[in-house]
Amino acid sequence: MYQRSFLSVVVIVILLAFQPAKLRFRVLALAENGGHHIAYSKAAKVWLNKLAADSNFAIDYIDNTDKIDSAYLSTYKLFIQLDYPPYAWKPAAVKAFEQYINEGRGGWIGFHHASLLGEFDGYKLWPWFYQFMGQVLFKDYIATFAAGDVHVEDSTHPVLKGVPAVFTVKTEEWYTYDKSPRPNVHVLANVNERSYVPASNKTMGDHPVIWTNPACKAKNVYIFMGHSPDLFENAAYLTLFRNAIFWAAQ
């Protein structure tokens, strides 16, 4: 009798040991599926899939906003706007996303194209997103690309833990805006325009490239750099991206 009970306990322990651990959270990534940013999105998916497998979270990808509504977003703790602009969203998606951020239903990380604010391709400016991003409008960009040095301003922020005080991004378009978002957001890092290689006259002076909007209930961070797949060979960038995920998804 004792032996049978002992064997039952052993079997239960073994079964429990081989049960998959409960997922920590689910992530939704809205990624472009065309254009010249597709190489970045493809590299991001490879890296994100490995991180998700290693860190026990799930990630789903969509390449348009057709499915997005409040019910759809309710299963996700983090929304990654992976090189996707703030226009051409379906009305239900606009309403659901605003609610998601305003009510703090999950976190948000936006990259690169997420600050492409203005009137593009026949679409009007999204006023709420304009406020969310610090009231900036896209002005110009370095179409021929340039390397640049990113300088950390708030090394105490969890998103920048372990990120060097200065790190180089070797291939980027470097947008300029009609003004700096600094008065309306908390800036975490800037790019030194004097470090551009090759040099460029497309500058704006105070040039934030990583920031968060503390007025929003949802944890959020915008990371401008997100054009070239070579970013996934940049240790500082990967640390930044990883930190952002685990901070914003909490």
**The 3-state secondary structure of 161-227, one letter per residue:** CCCCCEEEEEEECCCEECCCCHHHCEEEEEEEEEEEECCCCCCCCCCEEEEECCCCCCCEEEECCCC
Asked, for residue 95, whether it belongs to a domain, the answer is yes
60-77 tens-digit pLDDT = 999 999 999 999 999 999
> Which residue ranges in the chain fall short of pLDDT 70?
1-21
Expressed in percent and rounded to 5, the helix, strand and coil fractions of the chain are 35, 25, 40
Compute the distance between CA of residue 104 and CA of residue 220 in angstroms, rounded to an integer. 10
Asked, for residue 10, whether it belongs to a domain, the answer is no
Query: How much is the pLDDT for 21?
Result: 67
Asked, for residue 2, whether it belongs to a domain, the answer is no
The domain of 85 spans 25-248
Question: Looking at this protein, which amino acid is placed at residue 226?
Answer: G
Asked, for residue 32, whether it belongs to a domain, the answer is yes
pTM of the complete model: 0.91
Query: How much is the pLDDT for 228?
Result: 95
Query: How much is the pLDDT for 20?
Result: 54
Asked, for residue 11, whether it belongs to a domain, the answer is no
Asked, for residue 241, whether it belongs to a domain, the answer is yes
How many structural domains does the chain have? 1
CATH number of the CATH domain containing 49: 3.40.50.880
Query: How much is the pLDDT for 36?
Result: 72
Asked, for residue 6, whether it belongs to a domain, the answer is no
124-171 tens-digit pLDDT = 999 999 999 999 999 999 999 999 999 999 999 999 999 999 999 999
Asked, for residue 102, whether it belongs to a domain, the answer is yes
